[in-house]
Amino acid sequence: MSSRLLSGRYELLEKIGDGGMAVVYKGKDRLLNRFIAIKILRPEFTKDATFVENFKRESQAAAGLTHPNIVGVYDVGREGNINYIVMELIEGRTLNAIIEDEAPMDYKKVIDISKQVASALRIAHKNKIIHRDVKPHNIMITNDGVVKLADFGIARAVNDATLSTGSKIVGSVHYFSPEQARGNYVDERSDIYSLGIVMYEMLTGQVPFDGENPVTVALKHINEEIRPPSELVDGIPPALERCVMKATNKYQTNRYSSADELIEELDNISFVTNVAGTEIFAATDVIEKRNKRKAELEAAREEEEPKKKKKKTARDKRLTALIIILVVLLAIFAGWFIAWRMGVFSSTKPAPDFLDKTIDEAQAIAEEEGFILKQGKDIYSNDYTENRICLQDPAPGAEAPKGGTITVNVSKGSKEGMVPNVVGMQRDEVEDFLAQYGYVLGNVKVETSPEDEGKVLEQDPVAGSPLDKESKVNIVVSDGKGTEKGTVPSVTNLSLKEAKKAIQSAGFEVGRVDYDWSNSVDKGYVMYQQYQANSLLDKGTSIDIQVSSGPEPAPVVPETPATETPEAVTPAEGVTPEQPAEGN
């Protein structure tokens, strides 16, 4: 197959990977004269038209992701019955292979790899793309130690087929979030859960849940608690263990709300383990030596009282001096920490977002943020209109040297014969815009959405598709009447206070709170919620809950005098479930 050409351009050289969904080849782009990786969809998936369309659409979306920690997607195409993706060729190893050789891995290396993966997820999530299949097999480490997250845009298509196509791609069930295992709604926090499982495996050398078949593993994700990694491996910093346990919490609302929050936590852990470990712990050693010396002095009894008093005075002076030194060290440490958090010592800062801005607008932002703006070549873009910035390096949010140069490329509009992007435009702008590229506005469908009225939500064909001139492009626009949806949190078995906080944090209102007896749920804890957890619901909706009042008390039996005829005994009237104090 080495002589096979795809689209007359991509030469297949050798097979380098074989997965459940696709086969990967090393190839060469004859047009640009560079080596590439070509992922070809397996034939059994090409029979499902919906799957192939999702595969194409999501991969095109992933092609817009530019970040040092993301494997670049260069092209998506089809030739005959072959569907393929052209990607950046990575010289290195998968994290899966590294775990097999090195796990349990050094916690500092775990933090470094996790931060880079989280940085990739941050960019994807800002672009409304959920990976859905974060696992060591999809994480590459280059020979220079740069982490690259792969298979963006493929995971969503795979997710649709996972439960129906059987055995070949269910291996990732070891990294599924509970909501994925249930088949429920997933969001950014689902990727964070999967990354938490990867961190667990790096630290311990094993995944938290395993079983004889995928269904067993999925049920464990839903029902069983994760064993803390410190019970398996010694030397894991407690803060890092807490980070892993929070990322893998079974409830989405209890995890890190974003990749940014996880990165900040990992930065703090790295700082505490690196800096505090050398200064504060050193101070602890001094204290231990001082106490040891003090014990030795007290044990050595001197016969002469003046000499004892003299030694005691000297000891007190040393103790006072040592305390002063410790106070000064702690003050220096506190000041250094505050300055570090304020960025005083940092030589980098996040790159501004110049995408979809004009050169003049970007120049003003660059000057304000302390960067130098450099204009590169003008390029074709199906996602950004003409004269708007469509690409930048470093990418938005990536760490860049203070005062450094950021190179931007300006869009020349869509290439002739390719459908331009109209998603996000207003309905009254679309017709004239399409006419500039030789296309005609087709059907206009209106759907209920919280977006502004008239805003284009979808288009068919999608941007970047080849299409003959004078063809129609259909669009879906918002009616502006929709309500933003939210994910209902799971509040059963939470205290009333915790349940109220979770409901409000998710964007809902706390409705009626009822109380009833329960022999299975502790007093003061929620035993019922009105709407099913992880379902979608209009934000602002009230959610009723029912709280346990504890076990039902036994009926009160009055004593009957021996001289009287006993009457029928009934439970005392008026006994109602007790309402616990709300502070529980």
Is the pLDDT at 268 greater than 90? The verdict is no
Kindly state the average pLDDT of the residues 253-274: 83
Distances (CA, A) of 96 to 100, 201, 206, 355: 6, 10, 11, 35
Mean pLDDT of the chain: 79
Q: Is 133 a catalytic residue?
A: yes
Kindly give the interhelix angle for 107-126 and 259-271, rounded to the nearest 10 degrees.
160
- Per-residue pLDDT band at 220 (split at 50, 70, 90): confident
Q: Check residue 33 and give its pLDDT.
A: 87
Cα dist from 261 to 243, 246, 465, 486, whole Å: 11, 12, 37, 20
Place of tokens 């918002």: 478
Amino acid at 334: A
Say what the pLDDT of residue 583 is.
53
pLDDT at site 203: 92
pLDDT tens profile 148-173: 888 765 544 444 333 333 333 334 78
**For residue 21, how many other CB atoms are within 10 A of its CB?**
22
Question: Which of 382 and 524 is assigned the larger pLDDT?
Answer: 524
Who has greater pLDDT, 574 or 454?
A: 454
Between β-strands 372-375 and 405-410, what pairing exists: parallel, antiparallel or unpaired? parallel
Higher-scoring residue by pLDDT: 7, 304? 7
| Angle (CA) 206 172 145, round 5° | 65
pLDDT of residue 420: 83
Q: What is the pLDDT of residues 474-527, one digit of tens each?
A: 999 998 887 777 889 999 889 999 999 999 999 999 999 999 888 878 899 998
Whole-angstrom Cα distance, residue 26 to residue 263? 33
Q: What is the pLDDT at residue 274?
A: 58
How far is Cα 3 from Cα 81, in angstroms, rounded to an integer?
A: 18
Q: What is the DSSP string of 487-528?
A: EPPP-TTSBHHHHHHHHHHTT-EEEEEEEE--SSS-TTBEEE
Residue in the structure block whose two tokens are 């950014």: 188
Active-site position among 48, 75, 106, 133 = 133
Q: List, in order, residues 6 or more apart from 246 with CB less than 8 Å away.
A: 196, 254, 255, 256
Distance CA 23, CA 14 (A): 11
The single-letter code of the amino acid at 254 is N
pLDDT at 437: 82
User: Rounded to whole angstroms, how far apart are CA atoms 486 and 496?
Assistant: 21
> What are the two backbone dihedrals, phi and then psi, of residue 426, each rounded to the nearest 5 degrees?
-90, 150
Is the bond preceding residue 208 a cis peptide, omega within 30 degrees? no
The whole-number pLDDT of residue 560 equals 53
| Residue 31's pLDDT band (cuts 50, 70, 90) | confident
Amino acid code (one letter) for 339: A
In whole angstroms, what separates CA 508 from the centre of its chain?
Answer: 23
pTM over 0.75: no
Distance separating alpha carbons of residues 213 and 173, to the nearest angstrom:
10
CB atoms within 10 A of CB 471: 13
Task: Report, as an integer, the average pLDDT of 419-445.
Answer: 89
436 DSSP assignment: H
The closest alpha carbon to 250, from 190, 200, 294, 165, belongs to 190
What CA–CA distance (Å, rounded) separates 201 from 80? 41
Region 455-464 average pLDDT: 86
Averaged pLDDT, 15-24: 76
Cα 73 to Cα 90: distance, rounded to the nearest angstrom: 12
Across residues 384-402, what is the average pLDDT? 83
Q: How far apart are CA 384 and CA 407, in angstroms?
A: 17
pLDDT at position 32 over 50? yes
Give the pLDDT confidence score for residue 246 in this predicted structure. 92
Choose the most confident range, by mean pLDDT, from 15-24, 50-59, 420-429.
Answer: 420-429
Instruction: Give residue 473's pLDDT band: very low, low, confident or very high (50, 70, 90).
Output: very high
Greater confidence (288 vs 401) lies with 401
158 is written with which tokens? 């795979």
Over residues 437-449, mean pLDDT: 89
Work out the burial of residue 225: count CB atoms within 10 Å of its CB; fewer than 13 is exposed, 13-18 middle, 19 or more buried: exposed
Residue 199 has a pLDDT of 94
Helix, strand, coil shares, percent, the chain, to 5: 40, 20, 40
Q: Is a pLDDT exceeding 90 seen at residue 337?
A: no
Q: Where are the alpha helices (DSSP H) in 300-400?
A: 305-341, 359-369
Q: Whole-angstrom Cα distance, residue 145 to residue 109?
A: 10
DSSP string, 261-286: HHHHHHHHHHHIIIIIHHHHHHHHHH
In the prediction, which pLDDT does 160 show?
A: 38
23, 17 contact by CB (below 8 A): yes
Amino acid identity, position 534: N
Q: Contact 445/460 with Cβ under 8 angstroms?
A: no
State which H helix or E strand residue 239 sits in.
helix 238-247
